Amino acid sequence: MGTPQFPDLGKHCSLPDCKQIDFLPFTCDCCHKVFCLDHRSYNQHQCPKAERHDVTVVICPLCAKGVRLRPDENPHITWENHVNVDCDPSNYDKVTKKRKCPVRGCKEILVFSNTIKCRDCTVDHCLKHRFAPDHSCPGPKKLDTGFAFMSLLNRSRKEEPKPKQSPATSSTKWTSSFLNAASSFRASAEAGMSKLSNEISQKLQIAKDGAGQSSSSGTGGTELCPQCGARFSSVTTLIEHVEKIHDRSGNQARPKVTVDVCPKCSQGFCDPVALVEHVERDHGGTSRA
């Protein structure tokens, strides 16, 4: 057996009647013996342990399921375990009964490739009767009014006096009312600011021109002289009154001071810019017309 270079090359067939040397022998996975090409199968060398790898399946007549018999277990015990645990007689009709097209007179057997489910009645039909007019489709199924949930839903609908508006409608109505209110508020604010700007311009012009002056002894003004108690209609006339009558301490000529009056609080300012800043800060106005 073998060659001088490879003395272990090749093996003899384990079958007593063969004993042929094979350089590519086969080892049986059951009895673990070596065989040649002609006797490598279980039947050719009559393997005594071949049944361990044989798969025997028995179809149950009750549920039409396959029951695999184990080589190292009694078949009666395997059968009893299946009947007591896995057997389901309701599965027999599902497996053995062939589905047919429900249309009267049609004998087409429904399989995976020729089955179409109607989207209205949700019933399987063959390709020939897949359209609604071909199988007299009754249309979409109505909800069962006897169901507890449907009765509760109908009762709640009856109790409602008036249908509620949809969220989209109420949301749109609220948005439109908010926009209308915002636009009206903006318009009123712009009108008020424009009116305030006009009043400020008029008062500034009157103060610069010296209009509305009253006599030093007038009693109808709002500005009170702290020394003689005389009233004047504006701050400008009050300052001129104090400079001419009460201020006699010096003979030096003093420059004439121009005073701008706030139309809201009658506060005087020498600088028109300071007056505008006062109106914007204290009275919430603006200098823009």
Sign of dihedral through CA atoms 273, 274, 276, 280? positive
Mean pLDDT rounded to a whole number for the chain: 75
DSSP state of 14: S
pLDDT score for 281: 83
CA separation for the pair 266, 204 (Å, rounded): 12
Confidence band of 185 (pLDDT split at 50, 70, 90): confident
Residues 94/63, Cβ–Cβ less than 8 Å:
no
Percent of the chain at pLDDT > 90 equals 6
Residues 68/59, Cβ–Cβ less than 8 Å:
no
pLDDT score for 15: 87
Q: At residue 40, does pLDDT exceed 70? A: yes
Domains of the chain: 9-52 (4.10.1110.10), 57-96 (no CATH), 99-140 (no CATH)
Whole-model pTM?
A: 0.27
- Residue 56 forms beta bridges with which residues? 69
- pLDDT tens sequence across 55-101: 788 888 888 888 888 877 888 898 899 889 888 888 887 777 788 89
pLDDT score for 284: 76
Percent of the chain at pLDDT > 70 equals 72
- pLDDT tens sequence across 234-282: 778 888 888 777 765 444 444 455 567 777 787 777 777 787 888 888 8
CA separation for the pair 276, 265 (Å, rounded): 13
CA separation for the pair 238, 162 (Å, rounded): 72
- pLDDT tens sequence across 105-159: 998 988 888 999 998 888 999 999 999 888 888 887 665 555 555 566 666 666 5
| DSSP labels, 154-216 | HHHHHH-SSPPPPHHHHHHHHHHHHHHHHHHHHHHHHHHHHHHHHHHHHHHHHHHHTTT---T
DSSP state of 244: I
For 32, the 3-state DSSP assignment is coil
Q: 26-27 and 34-35 as β-strands: parallel, antiparallel, unpaired?
A: antiparallel
pLDDT score for 215: 41
pLDDT score for 214: 39
